[in-house]
């Protein structure tokens, strides 16, 4: 599972992501973008390609695992950093 | 802690507490770690879940394209925090530097960031608000509950309030072919944020998509049936609307009640802070250890005459959180002002709406590109002879250009020619914002000057 957020202030509707990872990103009308905020593991490679291809770098993807979030629990230490922005 | 090495000590072993575990709180926490804060970090949140993103809750989720419990925010770096989730902060002792929690615990801090945001304004009549089928939309639970009800195929949805959230909800309903009525006490949807000229376009879009739009009216009462389910609403024009789902979309209230009596300059309009996000106390004196960011903060903005702005915008939460975090760990001369130009987006009825600057400060509008009748245009707002804001309907790519005009205080009306300017764009129009003494739903920018008396202001509900 990968978490995704798109900075839609930045997004200019180039639709590169919708071509590269249509399972996750889709244009809605001429300019608006809809996306699945939590994609399953399978298309991670596609997702990374889509994020990298965004001309305005508007796609934010998990760079680390969040770790424990139970009340009182501490986060897991940083690991598996793939592409922090 | 002045420049005597104590800042280094703070970074090494200090205690930072962030109250508010949503977008601003999370991005601030990430920035603190990025800037080398190695001390203890505590994240306090009233909701029991990890930080999540709200924009999808009124769009993808209501369209059935995403699940409300799957919008958690991506983590840009590890924050190595202690999370106190589901235990809201209930008090602040500034002298002892402690935050009180609902479960009775007290959490001490050396630096405090307040990012408690806003909550949806509830329907003012308690009994009517409790009727089954009456919703508001702010949290993921709100969104999940509303999405479930929309899945069940209600006979008619009534949206009270034609601001951005209300309009997005109505749009999602129409896309799912659900009958929907929108009531708005102003003359048009979005009128508080974008004015009457653009509001008229928003009204046209709603009606063309089959929304039963009623403007200039208020809902005066909600009626339930014998089993406590909502069945109808009475309107101020004497008519009624039968609806089995009612979404109350009357804007937001700032979460500052927990600060009452703390001595912090907090009230219904938010927490007053300086351009560097340091909070003021009620005497108007800036604090050294309490910061605010996100929807709850109210900051003077250099581009807009140092007026104090409260912005309920995603981008503002992110940038202000980063500035606050940077400043919490900086000597006074290294601090940065929060100067980002306000910007937001909305998508509704197939149109992408984006804005930069502060349209609601404008008195005039010029349609510089495209056409109002096509619902594809770029409107430039003018205030006292300068460009103060811009709005784009399916014209988003042009906004960075207009942002530059705002940042450089370019003259209004703009002097440049555009390739697609229509006859209607040859001269400015009255932007037609409502009289400020008449509140409308959903303006996303609050403008005001700071006065310690603000904390005694009370909100008078419209209904």
The beta-carbon neighbor of B74 closest among A4, A75, A77 is A4
With beta carbons less than 8 A apart as the criterion, state whether B142 and B57 touch.
Answer: yes
pLDDT at res. B374: 95
Domain residue ranges of chain B, discontinuous segments joined by +? 6-119+253-334, 121-250, 343-448
Q: Is residue A16 assigned to a domain?
A: yes
Q: What is the CATH number of the domain that holds A25?
A: 3.30.70.20
The count of residues in chain A is 85
CA B36 to chain centre: 30
pLDDT at res. B461: 45
What torsion do the CA atoms of B126, B131, B136, B140 make, to the nearest 10 degrees? 120
Range of the structural domain that residue A30 is part of: 2-61
Q: Is residue A74 assigned to a domain?
A: no
Q: Which of B309, B290, B287, B288 is nearest to B298 (CA)?
A: B309
* A18 touching chain B per CB within 8 A: no
Residue B72 to residue A66, Cβ atoms within 8 A: yes
pLDDT at res. B452: 39
pLDDT at res. B216: 96
pLDDT at res. A75: 44
The CATH number of B121-250, from 3.50.50.60, 3.40.50.300, 1.10.260.40, 3.30.200.20, is 3.50.50.60
A chain contacts of residue B350, beta-carbon cutoff 8 Å: 28-30, 32
The answer to whether B6-119+253-334 and B121-250 have equal CATH topology is yes
| pLDDT confidence bin for A39, thresholds 50/70/90 | confident
DSSP letter at B31 equals H
Whether the pLDDT of residue A46 is over 70: the answer is yes
State which residues of chain B have pLDDT below 50. Answer: 1, 442-443, 448-463
- 3-state helix vs strand vs coil in chain B, percent to 5: 25, 30, 40
* A7 touching chain B per CB within 8 A: yes
pLDDT at res. B437: 56
Q: Is residue A66 assigned to a domain?
A: no
Domain B6-119+253-334, architecture per CATH: 3-Layer(bba) Sandwich (3.50)
Please report how the helices B23-34 and B314-328 are oriented relative to each other, as an axis angle in degrees rounded to 10.
40
**What's the mean pLDDT in A37-49?**
83
Instruction: List phi, psi (to 5°) of B308.
Output: -80, 120
Q: Is residue A75 assigned to a domain?
A: no
Q: What b-and-e string marks burial along A54-71, b requiring 16 or more CB atoms within 10 Å of the CB?
A: beeebbbbbbbebbebee
Residue A66 to residue B60, Cβ atoms within 8 A: no
A chain contacts of residue B56, beta-carbon cutoff 8 Å: 35, 37
Q: Check if the interface score ipTM surpasses 0.90.
A: no
With beta carbons less than 8 A apart as the criterion, state whether B310 and B254 touch.
Answer: yes
The beta-carbon neighbor of B66 closest among A29, A37, A77 is A37
Total structural domains in chain A?
A: 1
| pLDDT confidence bin for A74, thresholds 50/70/90 | very low
Chain A, 21 to 50: residues with Cβ < 8 Å from chain B are 28-32, 34-38
- CATH code of domain B343-448: 3.30.390.30
Interface residue of B63, B76, B107, B313 to substitute, partner A, most A CBs within 10 Å: B76
Q: Is residue A78 assigned to a domain?
A: no
Q: In what order do the strands lie in the sheet with B270-272?
A: B266-267, B270-272, B297-301, B307-311, B445-448
């Amino acid at each position: 599972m990968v978490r995704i957020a798109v900075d839609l202030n930045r997004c200019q509707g180039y639709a590169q992501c919708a071509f590269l990872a249509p399972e996750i990103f889709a244009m809605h009308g001429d300019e608006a973008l809809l996306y699945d905020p939590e994609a399953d593991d399978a298309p991670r490679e596609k997702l990374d390609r889509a994020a990298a291809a965004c001309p305005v770098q508007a796609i934010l993807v998990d760079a680390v695992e969040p770790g424990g979030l139970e009340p009182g629990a501490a986060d897991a230490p940083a690991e598996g950093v793939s592409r922090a922005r | 802690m002045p420049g005597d090495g104590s800042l280094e000590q703070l970074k090494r072993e200090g205690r930072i507490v962030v109250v508010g575990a949503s977008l601003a709180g999370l991005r601030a926490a990430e920035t603190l770690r990025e800037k080398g804060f190695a001390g203890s970090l505590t994240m306090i949140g009233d909701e029991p879940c990890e930080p999540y993103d709200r924009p999808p809750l009124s769009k993808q989720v209501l369209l059935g394209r995403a699940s409300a419990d799957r919008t958690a925010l991506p983590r840009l770096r590890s924050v190595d925090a202690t999370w106190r989730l589901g235990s809201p902060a209930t008090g602040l002792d500034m002298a002892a530097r402690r935050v009180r929690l609902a479960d009775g615990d007290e959490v001490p801090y050396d630096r405090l960031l307040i990012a408690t945001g806003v909550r949806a304004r509830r329907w003012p009549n308690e009994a009517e608000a409790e009727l089954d089928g009456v919703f508001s939309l702010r949290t993921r639970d709100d969104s999940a509950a509303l999405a479930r009800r929309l899945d069940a195929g209600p006979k008619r949805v009534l949206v009270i309030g034609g601001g951005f959230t209300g309009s997005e909800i109505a749009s999602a309903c129409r896309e799912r072919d659900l009958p929907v009525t929108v009531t708005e006490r102003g003359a048009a949807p979005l009128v508080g944020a974008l004015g009457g000229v653009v509001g008229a376009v928003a009204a046209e879009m709603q009606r063309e998509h089959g929304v039963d739009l009623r403007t200039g009216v208020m809902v005066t009462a909600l009626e339930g049936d014998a089993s406590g389910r909502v069945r109808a609403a009475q309107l101020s024009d004497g008519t009624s609307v039968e609806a089995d789902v009612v979404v109350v979309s009357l804007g937001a209230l700032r979460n500052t009640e927990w600060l009452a009596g703390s001595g912090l300059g907090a009230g219904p309009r938010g927490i007053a802070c300086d351009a560097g996000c340091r909070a003021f106390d009620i005497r108007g004196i800036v604090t050294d250890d309490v910061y605010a960011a996100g929807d709850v903060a109210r900051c003077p903005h250099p581009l807009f005459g140092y007026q104090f702005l409260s912005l309920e915008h995603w981008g503002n939460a992110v940038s202000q959180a980063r500035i606050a975090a940077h400043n919490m760990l900086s000597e006074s001369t290294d601090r940065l002002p929060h100067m980002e130009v306000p910007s937001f987006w909305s998508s509704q009825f197939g149109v992408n709406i984006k804005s930069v600057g502060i349209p609601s400060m404008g008195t005039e509008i010029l349609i510089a590109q495209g056409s109002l009748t096509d619902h594809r245009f770029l409107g430039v707002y003018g205030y006292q002879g300068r460009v103060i804001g811009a709005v784009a309907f399916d014209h988003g790519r042009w906004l960075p250009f207009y942002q530059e005009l705002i940042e450089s205080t370019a003259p209004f009306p703009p002097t440049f020619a555009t390739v697609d300017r229509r006859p209607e764009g040859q001269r400015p129009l009255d932007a037609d914002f409502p009289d400020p003494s008449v509140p409308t739903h959903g303006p996303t920018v609050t403008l005001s000057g700071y006065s310690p008396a603000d904390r005694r202001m009370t909100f008078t509900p419209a209904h």
